[in-house]
């Protein structure tokens, strides 16, 4: 799945006319004052919409839209924008002071292949947060949502996408099994792009059947249990920035799901205790990191560096787990 820049579909400037579906998500009776480019993305077009409300005040909204490539199913774009809305709504429910309020999503009436998501516009500094501030914000999300999964399981009620890659969020009562199902979905997409490879196939099988049980199984054994909390699964410096108005960190583009709270930064554990057994933390961290090595191998399939890193990390993790001989590697 290679990156592409969507064509510009929205009129830019003052007093422009927006698609009727977009206008329907704006406050009733408002007047569109301007539409300006806002932010950067390899996968969607993004704009800021400024409107005058009936009481004369000014409000601003952020909108992202996806235009499907020729031959793509319309359902794909709908799922991506629906998943974005549902994930951001869940994030806002538990962190309303530190995430933009979702407004809606839909499909352009004048172009059925163009789908959009819209939220309140929050002006942010383009700064990298400190580790302490980052950890405190993430911990607040996890603590606010801890053990509040709507059905008490791991997963999410709709498919979400990391960039343009779908993630299997099917509900599962076991954290170990849920993580394996997410990885299977990514491994399958990786295989489709890169073709068969005997060593990689054996490494993937060892990861799923030996490594995951070794490092995640103890979380749910000997009387231990994991309480699901809401996870921001795409948390990098581009998706958490300080608000200009409040200086509080703002989180967005969450690709959220209900999962294990553990985060790979030492400052985080000043707010939330490390899961037992703590001796397995490094191994668990490596298991969780494999999701993103696989994702990069899929997203940038023509760049062999990402595939090579993915395979090397698989080898390293299988070796760390001490299951190489058992896996015939």
pLDDT at 1 over 80: no
**pLDDT tens sequence across 111-153:** 888 899 999 999 999 999 999 999 999 999 999 999 999 999 9
Strands across the sheet with 31-37, in order?
A: 13-14, 31-37, 45-52, 58-67, 114-120, 102-107
Q: What percent of the chain has pLDDT over 90?
A: 78
pLDDT at 13 over 90: no
Confidence of residue 327 (pLDDT cuts 50, 70, 90): low
Mean pLDDT check: name the lowest of 44-48, 164-168, 312-316: 44-48
**pLDDT tens sequence across 188-226:** 999 999 998 999 999 999 999 999 999 999 999 999 999
**pLDDT tens sequence across 35-68:** 988 876 666 778 899 999 999 999 999 988 875 5
Q: What percent of the chain has pLDDT over 70?
A: 90
pLDDT at 69 over 80: no
Confidence of residue 3 (pLDDT cuts 50, 70, 90): very low
pLDDT at residue 37 in the model? 81
Q: Is the pTM of this model over 0.85?
A: yes
Q: Which domains does the chain have, with CATH numbers?
A: 13-120 (3.30.200), 131-321 (3.90.1200.10)
> Contact, 19 vs 35, CB < 8 A?
no
pLDDT at residue 11 in the model? 61
pLDDT at residue 163 in the model? 86
Long-range Cβ contacts of 296-300 (<8 Å, 24+ apart): 297/190, 297/193, 297/194, 298/1, 298/165, 298/186, 298/189, 298/190, 298/193, 299/1, 299/3, 299/163, 299/164, 299/165, 300/2, 300/3
> Contact, 107 vs 153, CB < 8 A?
no
User: Within 10 Å of residue 289's Cβ, how many Cβ atoms?
Assistant: 13
pLDDT at residue 45 in the model? 78
- The residue that leads in pLDDT, 93 or 35, is 93
pLDDT at residue 175 in the model? 97
Closest-CA residue to 254 (of 274, 240, 272, 270): 240
């Amino acid at each position: 799945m290679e990156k592409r820049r969507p064509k510009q579909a929205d009129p830019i400037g003052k007093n422009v006319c927006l698609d009727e579906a977009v206008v329907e998500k704006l406050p009733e009776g408002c007047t569109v004052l301007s539409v300006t480019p806002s932010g950067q993305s390899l996968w969607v077009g993004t704009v800021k919409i400024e409107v005058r409300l009936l009481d004369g005040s000014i409000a601003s909204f952020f909108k992202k839209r996806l235009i499907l490539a020729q031959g793509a199913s319309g359902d794909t774009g709908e799922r991506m924008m629906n998943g974005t809305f549902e994930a951001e709504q869940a994030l806002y429910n538990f962190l309303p002071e530190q995430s933009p309020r979702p407004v809606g999503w839909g499909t352009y009436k004048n172009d059925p292949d163009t789908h959009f998501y819209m939220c309140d516009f929050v002006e942010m500094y383009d700064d990298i947060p400190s580790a302490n501030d980052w950890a405190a914000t993430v911990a607040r999300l996890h603590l606010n949502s801890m053990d509040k999964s709507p059905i008490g399981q791991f997963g999410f009620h709709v498919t979400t996408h990391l960039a343009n890659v779908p993630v299997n969020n099917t509900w599962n009562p076991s954290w170990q099994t849920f993580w394996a199902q997410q990885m299977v979905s990514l491994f399958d997409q990786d295989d489709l792009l890169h073709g068969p490879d005997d060593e990689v196939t054996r490494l993937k099988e060892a990861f799923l059947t030996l490594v995951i049980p070794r490092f995640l199984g103890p979380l749910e054994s000997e009387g231990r249990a994991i309480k699901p909390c809401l996870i921001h699964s795409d948390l990098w410096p581009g998706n958490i920035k300080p608000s200009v108005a409040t200086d509080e960190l703002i989180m967005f583009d969450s690709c959220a799901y209900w999962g294990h709270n553990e985060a790979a930064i030492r400052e985080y554990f000043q707010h939330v205790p490390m899961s037992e057994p703590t001796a397995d933390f490094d191994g668990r961290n490596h298991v969780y990191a494999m999701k993103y090595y696989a994702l990069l191998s899929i997203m940038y399939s023509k760049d062999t560096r990402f595939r090579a890193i993915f395979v090397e990390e698989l080898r390293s993790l299988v070796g760390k787990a001490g299951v190489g001989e058992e896996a015939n590697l």
